[in-house]
Amino acid sequence: MIDVIINNTAYSIDDSLPISLMDYLRDELGLKSVKDGCNQGACGTCTVIIDGVAQRSCSQLSSLEDDIEIVTIEGLSEREKDVYDFAFAEAGAVQCGFCIPGMVLSTKALLDKNLQPSDDEIKHALRRNICRCTGYVKIIEAVHLAARYFREDLAITEQHCDGKLDSNLHRVDAREKTLGYGEYVDDMSLPNMLHGKALRTPAPRARIIKIDIEKAQQHPDAVCVLTAADIPGDNKHGHLVQDWDSLIAEGNTTRYVGDALALVASKNPLSLNAILQLIEVEYEELEPLTSPAEAMLPDAPKIHPGGNILCNEKLVRGDAETAINNAAHVVTQHYSTPFTEHAFMEPECAIALIENQDVLLYTGAQGIYDDQHEVSRVLGIGEERVRVHSKLVGGGFGGKEDMSVQHHAALLAWHSKQPVKVKLTRQESIMIHPKRHAMEIEMTTACDESGKLVGMQAKIISDTGAYASLGGPVLQRACTHAAGPYSFKDVAVYGTAVYTNNPPGGAFRGFGVSQVAFALESNMNLLAEKVGLSPWQIRHLNAVRPGQALPNGQIADQSTGLVECLEALKEIYQSSPRAGIAVSFKNSGLGVGIPDHGRAILSVEAGKVHVRTSAACIGQGVATVAVHIVCEVTGLSPEEIVVEAPDTARTPNSGTTTASRQTVFTGEAIRRAAQSLQQALAAEVTLSDLNSQEFYGEYASDTDPINSDKPNPVSHVAYGYAAQVVLLDEQGKVEKVAAAYDLGKVINRKSAEGQIEGGIVMGLGYALTEDYPLVKAVPKTNYKGLKLFKATDIPHIETMIVEREFDPEVALGAKGVGELATIPTAPATQGAYYALDGKFRTKLPLEATAYSPKPKKKPTRRVRR
Query: Binders of ligand FES among 240-279, rule CB under 6 A?
Result: none
Closer to ligand FES by CB, 504 or 621: give it: 621
| Region from 93-101, 229-237, 307-315, 842-850 binding ligand FES, contact rule CB under 6 A | 93-101
- CB of residue 654 vs ligand FES: minimum separation in angstroms? 22
* Smallest separation (angstroms) from ligand FES to the CB of 147: 20
96 is a contact residue toward ligand FES (CB under 6 A) = yes
Is the CB of residue 697 less than 8 Å from the CB of residue 712?
no
Given candidates 21, 46, 734, 739, which one binds ligand FES under the rule CB under 6 A? 46
Report the half-sphere exposure of 588 (CA within 13 A, side-chain side): 29
Cα radius of gyration (the chain)? 27
Q: In what order do the strands lie in the sheet with 69-71?
A: 9-13, 2-6, 69-71, 47-50, 53-56
Distances (CA, A) of 157 to 86, 254, 281: 9, 59, 63
Phi/psi for 337 (5° steps) reads -125, 145
Select 288 or 758, whichever has its Cβ closest to ligand FES. Answer: 758
Q: Which of 55, 72, 134, 552 binds ligand FES (CB under 6 A)?
A: 134
CA dihedral 652, 656, 657, 659 (to 10 degrees): -130
Distances (CA, A) of 419 to 127, 191, 650: 38, 8, 22
Q: Is the sign of the CA dihedral 632, 635, 639, 645 positive or negative?
A: negative
* Residue (of 819, 822, 814, 816) closest to 789 by Cα position: 822
Is the separation of the CB atoms in 768 and 846 below 8 Å? yes
Size of the site for ligand FES (CB under 6 A): 26
Applying CB under 6 A, does 184 fall inside the site for ligand FES? no
Q: Which is nearer to ligand FES, 45 or 72 (CB)?
A: 45
- Determine what percent of the chain falls in helix, strand and coil, rounding each to the nearest 5: 30, 25, 45
423 beta partners:
349
Which CB, 144 or 304, lies closer to ligand FES?
A: 144
CB 392 within 8 A of CB 359: no
Question: What span, in angstroms and rounded, lies between the C-alpha atoms of 827 and 813?
Answer: 28
Q: Return d(Cα 370, Cα 386) in angstroms, integer.
A: 11
Nearer to ligand FES, 102 or 472 (CB): 102
**Which of these, 562, 563, 542, 544, lies nearest to 553 by C-alpha position?**
544
Site string for ligand FES, 600-629 (x = CB under 6 A): -------------------x----------
CB of 693 to ligand FES, least distance (A): 36
- For residue 44, state whether it binds ligand FES (rule: CB under 6 A): yes
Nearest-angstrom CA–CA distance, 128 and 41: 9
Least distance from C-beta 339 to ligand FES, angstroms? Answer: 21
Whether the CB-CB separation of 828 and 726 falls below 8 Å is answered with: yes
Distance in Å, CB of 156 to ligand FES, minimum: 22
Beta strand ranges found along 520-667 (DSSP E):
579-588, 597-605, 608-612, 641-643
By CB under 6 A, tell whether 501 contacts ligand FES. Answer: no
Q: Which of 800, 798, 787 is nearest to 851 (CA)?
A: 787
Q: Which is nearer to ligand FES, 84 or 834 (CB)?
A: 84
Pairwise CA distance, residues 170 & 157, whole Å: 13
> Least Å distance between CB 86 and ligand FES?
17
Cβ distance to ligand FES smaller for residue 41 or 546: 41
CB of 346 to ligand FES, least distance (A): 8
| Interface mask toward ligand FES for 100-129; x: CB under 6 A | x-----------------------------
Of 101 and 827, nearer to ligand FES (C-beta) is: 101
Judged by CB under 6 A, the residue of 95, 416, 418, 462 near ligand FES is 95
Q: By CB under 6 A, tell whether 58 contacts ligand FES.
A: yes
- 40 versus 637: smaller Cβ distance to ligand FES: 40
Q: CB-wise, 474 or 756, nearer to ligand FES?
A: 756
Q: Which stretch binds ligand FES (CB under 6 A): 132-140, 299-307, 590-598, 661-669?
A: 132-140
Nearer to ligand FES, 129 or 291 (CB): 129
- Residue 414 CA, distance from chain mean position: 30
* Least spacing, CB of residue 94 vs ligand FES, in Å: 6
Of 131 and 513, which has the nearer Cβ to ligand FES?
A: 131
**Residue from 473, 468, 479 nearest 505 by CA:** 468
Q: How far apart are CA 727 and CA 724, in angstroms?
A: 10
Closest approach, Cβ 109 to ligand FES, in A, equals 15
For residue 852, give the 3-state DSSP assignment.
coil
Binding mask 20-39 for ligand FES (x = CB under 6 A): ----------------xxxx
Residues 334-363 that bind ligand FES (CB under 6 A): 345
- Residue 42 or 664: the one with the smaller Cβ distance to ligand FES is 42
User: Which residue in the set 13, 15, 23, 56 belongs to the binding site for ligand FES (CB under 6 A)?
Assistant: 56
54 secondary structure, DSSP code: E
In sequence order, the β-bridge partners of residue 506 are 436
Please give the DSSP secondary-structure letter assigned to residue 85.
H
Given 131, 142, 194, 797, the residue binding ligand FES (CB under 6 A):
131
**Closest distance to ligand FES from the beta carbon of 46 (Å):** 3
- Residue span binding ligand FES (CB under 6 A) among the ranges 130-138, 198-206, 543-551, 826-834: 130-138
Please, which contacts does 118-127 make with residues 24 or more away whose CB atoms are closer than 8 Å?
A: 122/791, 123/791, 123/792, 123/794, 124/792, 125/54, 126/790, 126/791, 126/792, 127/790, 127/791, 127/792
Contact (Cβ atoms closer than 8 angstroms) between residue 448 and residue 409 = no
Q: Which stretch binds ligand FES (CB under 6 A): 43-51, 517-525, 568-576, 689-697?
A: 43-51
CB of 470 to ligand FES, least distance (A): 22
Q: Is the peptide bond before 711 cis (omega within 30 degrees of 0)?
A: no
Give the C-alpha separation, 338 to 503, whole Å: 12
Identify whether the C-beta of residue 411 lies closer than 8 Å to the C-beta of residue 422. no
Q: Does 135 bind ligand FES (CB under 6 A)?
A: no
Among 99, 265, 526, 531, binds ligand FES (CB under 6 A): 99
186 or 521: CB nearest ligand FES: 186
Q: Does 364 bind ligand FES (CB under 6 A)?
A: no
**How many angstroms from the chain centroid is the CA of residue 733?**
26
DSSP state letter for 437: P
Residues 395-454 that bind ligand FES (CB under 6 A): 395
**Applying CB under 6 A, which part among 95-103, 524-532, 550-558, 631-639 lies near ligand FES?**
95-103
Shortest distance, position 97 Cβ to ligand FES, whole Å: 5
Task: Give the residue with the Cβ less far from ligand FES, 108 or 132.
Answer: 132
| Position among 97, 204, 472, 553 found at the interface with ligand FES (CB under 6 A) | 97
Q: Shortest approach of ligand FES to residue 23 CB, angstroms? A: 10
Interface of this chain with ligand FES, residues 536 to 565, rule: CB under 6 A: none
Sole window of 90-98, 466-474, 706-714, 798-806 interacting with ligand FES (rule: CB under 6 A): 90-98
Q: Which residues bind ligand FES (CB under 6 A)?
A: 36-46, 56, 58, 95-100, 131-134, 345, 395, 619
